[in-house]
Amino acid sequence: MKRVDYHEPTTLEEAVQLMTRYPDTASFFAGGTDLLVELREQTRRADHVVNLKRIPDLGMLTFDPRAGVHCGALVTVRTLENAPFIRAHYAGLWQAARELASIPVRERATLAGNVCRASPSADTLPPLIADQAVAHVYGPAGRRDVTLEDFFLGPGRTVLSHEEVLTGFSIPAPEPGTGKSYIKHGRRKAMELATVGVAVTLTLDGDSVRDLRIVLGAVAPTPIRAPEAEQVLIGKRPEPALIEQAAEAAIAGSRPISDVRSSADYRRRMVGVQTRRALQQALEAAR
């Protein structure tokens, strides 16, 4: 790794000032599990790293049955994995968290970091979008909120400006009758980057689907909703034939690339298989 300067701001203002002072060459540093790797592998250039860990109050994870979850920017993926309310009410996010890399990585990696890295294959993004999470942002112009669905612009690119810092998320509380799932498709059982990821958040009203969000990872430059697939099932009884039809619609909506992990063709097929399986899992959980 090349030499860098290291900064430890203790307030958000100070952090933003540092980023403003180094317009092109500073990077925020929270968990570091992506940043340090990128610096070592020279896929990112930085002369300054701005460690956010000394800023108070960014490490809170709370749950309220009505308000839902609030997750600060420094909350680690391991903390989410171990939180009983995440497992109970945000099963897709929980599954994504426990399949992200390894325990020692998750002890450092933050949910905010996973989001800001904006990798198309990042595990936590599809369930966060499916759960309608909102990102809280602080910048030179003050605070703003952005839904996660509108947050990503491309691989490694988000709506955040260079100076803006993600301070945390809110995730709405699930409605009764909601089931969630996340399926990560990879070669191994762990230490994988998803070749396809599918998150489903589904709410039943009696026997029919009232609300449904299907989000696909690793099959487009950003995680994407599959609205055509959702429409197949919304307002209907989720019969196997309809689920199959929704899976087909998800395939039609995906735009995967071919790379060393998989061909685009195989990714498309897996979108179909795993969307069907994720829908079945979410349905079971909702019932």
Partner 1 sequence: MNASVIDTTAKGAVETEGRDGRGEDDGTIGRSVKRQDLLEKATGHAKFAGDIVLPGMLHGKIKRSDVAHARIRRIDTSKALALPGVKAVLTHENVPRVLHYGSPHPRSASVTRDQYIFDNKVRYWGEGIAAVAAISEEIAEEALDLIEVEYEELPAVFTLDEATAADAPQVHDRGPGGNQVIDPIRVSRGDVDSGFAEADLILEGEFEFGRPTACYMEPNICVSQWDGNDKLTMWSSTQTAFMVRGILAEVLGVPLNRVRVLVDHMGGGFGAKQDLFQHEFLCALLARETRRPVRMEFSRKETFLGGRSRHPGTMYLKQGFRRDGTITARQARITLNTGAYGSHGPGVTTVGTTALTSLYRCNNVDLEGRCIYTNTPIAGAFRGYGVVQVYYGLDIQLDEAAEALGMDPVELKLRNAVREGDLAPSGHPIIGHGLEDCLRRGAEEVNWGPVRQATRNQDGVYRRGWGVGCEMHGSSAYPGIKEQGNATVKMNEDGTVTLLTGAAGLGTGAHTALAQIVAEELGVAFEDVSVVHGDTDIVPWDIGAFASHTTFMVGRAAQQAAADIRQQLLAQAALRLERDAADLAVRRGRIVAVDGSGSSLSVREAVSPTPGIPAAHLIANGTYTPTKSYSFAAHFVEVEVDTETGQIRVLQVVPVHEFGKVIHPVAAAGQIEGGIQQGIGHTLSEDYVVDTSNGRSLNAGFVDYKMPLAMDMPPIRTIMLETAPDPGGPFGAKGIGEDPIIAIGPAIANAVYDAIGVRFHCYPITPERVINALAGTD
Partner 2 sequence: MKRMITVTINGEEQELAVEPYRSLLDTLRVEAGLTGSKKGCNVGDCGACTVILDGRPVNSCLVLAAEVDNCDVRTIEGLQHAPDRVHALQDNFMQYGAAQCGFCTPGILIMGKALLDENPDPTEDEIRFALAGNICRCTGYTKIIEAIRHTARQLAEERQGVES
Q: Which residues form the interface with partner 2 (CB under 8 A)? A: 1-6, 8, 31-33, 36-37, 40-41, 51, 53, 78, 101-105, 107-108, 189-191
- The DSSP code for 106 is H
Residues between 188 and 247 that touch partner 1 (CB under 8 A): 188-191, 193
Cβ of residue 75: shortest distance to partner 1, in angstroms? 24
**257 lies in the site for partner 1, by CB under 8 A:** no
> Least distance to partner 2 from the beta carbon of 111, Å?
16
Among 21, 143, 187, 255, binds partner 1 (CB under 8 A): 187
Closest contact distance (angstroms) between CB of 190 and partner 1 is 5
Q: Least Å distance between CB 194 and partner 2?
A: 15
Q: Check if the beta carbon of residue 191 is closer than 8 Å to that of residue 101.
A: yes
Out of 41, 66, 176, 207, the only residue in the binding site for partner 1 (CB under 8 A) is: 41
Residue that is written with structure tokens 């990714």 in the block:
267
Size of the site for partner 1 (CB under 8 A): 22
248's enclosing H/E stretch is helix 240-253
26's CB contacts (< 8 A; 6+ apart) are: 7, 18, 19, 46, 47, 48, 49, 50, 162
Virtual CA dihedral for 235, 236, 237, 238, nearest 10 degrees? Answer: -100
Contacts of 158 (CB under 8 A, 6+ apart): 115, 116, 118, 151, 152
Residues near partner 1 (CB under 8 A): 1-3, 40-41, 185, 187-191, 193, 259-263, 266, 269-270, 273-274
